Amino acid sequence: EAGPTVRSSISQGVTVVVRGMGQILATPRRTTSPADTLAPPTRPHLFIELEELHGQRWEERGRWNHALEEDIEDAAGRQKWSRPHLPTISVPAIVKLRQSLSTENVM
């Protein structure tokens, strides 16, 4: 089961989609026993998409999976996803996003 989906419009023509994948990730923990290498599941796995409205159609512009970001790249006239990479974001952008994610904007 895919889990819940949350959609939030952060500005006109831009929306963020967060999907809970229903999976629980195990996190590594330091131990001396080889049989005990993973901690119990701690948090659900989220898949996040950034979509922009172009005319009458929503288009994916970015996605995040396991904290790695993928962007749309134009290569020889074709669009493809970039290699996963660690995202960077400025502090003012985080503040603006937080202000935009009010309860009125979440569906």
Asked if 14 contacts 52 with a C-beta cutoff of 8 angstroms, the reply is yes
Instruction: Output the average pLDDT for the chain.
Output: 69
Average pLDDT in the 7-36 region?
51
More confident residue, 40 or 58: 58
Residue 68's pLDDT is 84
**End-to-end alpha carbon distance in the chain:** 20
Q: By three-state DSSP, how is residue 92 classified?
A: helix
Give me the pLDDT at residue 28, please: 40
pLDDT for 11 equals 59
Residue 91, pLDDT > 80, answer yes
Delimit the domains of the chain by residue range. 5-100
